[in-house]
Structure 1
Amino acid sequence: MSDLDATTPRVFLARHGETEWTKNGRYTGATELELTPYGIKQVKSTAVQLVGAKKLIDPARVVRIFVSPRKRARQTFEQLFDSSKIALDDERVKLTEDITEWNYGDYEGLKTAEIRAKRKEKGRDVEKEWDIWRDGCEGGESSQQIAERLDRVISEIRNIQRPYMNGEKPADVVLVAHGHILRCFFKRWLRYPMEMPLTMMLSPGAIGILGYKNHNIEEPGFFVGMSLPSDE
């Protein structure tokens, strides 16, 4: 790793693997779905490549793991850290509703096109198409509510990492959660408003990487790309 990568704390965003609803683009909030067999393979492959001693996510450098309580996220956590022998009852692991998926309310189980059609039947969105980042979800959460709970997590993470910005002690953090909420987290990490247009993609079983520029807690950033650590 470069000197900056090795000494400045990072935050890894781990999206759960594929579910049946992931495959066809249905909004999945509180519905409890398990990973598909392929979803388990996705996460196992990520773990083999990226999680372990001297790998991108080195358990020896991880001080906190936030996990969504939804079954698909817990399964993903178990697959990611199985070889590292880190279980849900480990003192570093925190199950929290603050990073569970967006509460889609009336839109649970629907696809984007179905949601937009449903709203137009009610005479809504005459001038602009529905945008979850701006309009939120009927019977569910608004973007402001999402921002508030994610900001709590971000504040906790910064309090954990603030004393160690120059490598005084390893202080990496991992979030194991869902595709939509992790993209929301990305915006709030950078202090962007939720409604700001920013096209982002995070594949099932993928890992995103956030950090800080110039070893400065007040300069949160993200890695466009990152070299993998050497075994040497």
Structure 2
Amino acid sequence: MSADPHREGHVVNRIGWLRAAVLGANDGIVSTASLVLGVAAANARTTDIVIAGTAGLVAGAMSMAAGEYVSVSAQADTEHAEIGRERRELAVDPVGELAELAGIYVERGVDHATAVAVATQLMAHDALGAHARDELDLTVGARAPPVQAALASAASFTVGAAMPLLAVFVMPANRLIAGVAGSSLLFLAVLGALGARAGDAAVWRGTCRVTFWGAFAMAVTALIGHLIGGTM
């Protein structure tokens, strides 16, 4: 047998960053494409469409960054408070905490003697880590810092939003709506396929889901823009 333990790679380890990247890029494409189509459907000039799309890109990226920062910070504060509480309980009542940890393993199907032995060994190695993981379902130090999470979210949104905005520059004015809608749906289909493949999910399902809801959002926004533009 090899001296090194066998380690399997599981796609579940990619869920966190995969969800953030796909969500950010998807939001960027859908929100910017919808904004561009809504303004274009209102018979606005190409310059106005570019201004609106650029403003949407910047505002959306900042909103994603701020929202991610606040969300991750709030969750980190809660986790730190829970870990601090667990640290105090371990200092005050280590015997009770040992029994509590062993009880968790018993509930999962381990016999009492083995559960006590495992809990004893884990607490001797890293008591706080064992309780954080098995009692609180937390991994100490595993979460990305709020600033890093905010920058990653803003970056993925910006990349997604840049795609329909760039299409405005290459499409002729008389085909702008069809061109932006078509290219954006293509970007969404590729994004959905890549996300599904990275997560070992069904590619067709991920592609259809992302494309359908993107098309729905763009169609509704374009319709509203057309109705408002027709009344002015």
Which bracket does the TM-score occupy, shorter chain normalised? under 0.3
Structure richer in helix, relative to its length:
2
TM-score, normalization by structure 1: 0.24
Higher relative contact order (CA 8 A, sep 6+): 2
TM-score, normalised to structure 2, is 0.24
- State which structure, 1 or 2, has the greater radius of gyration over its C-alpha atoms: 2
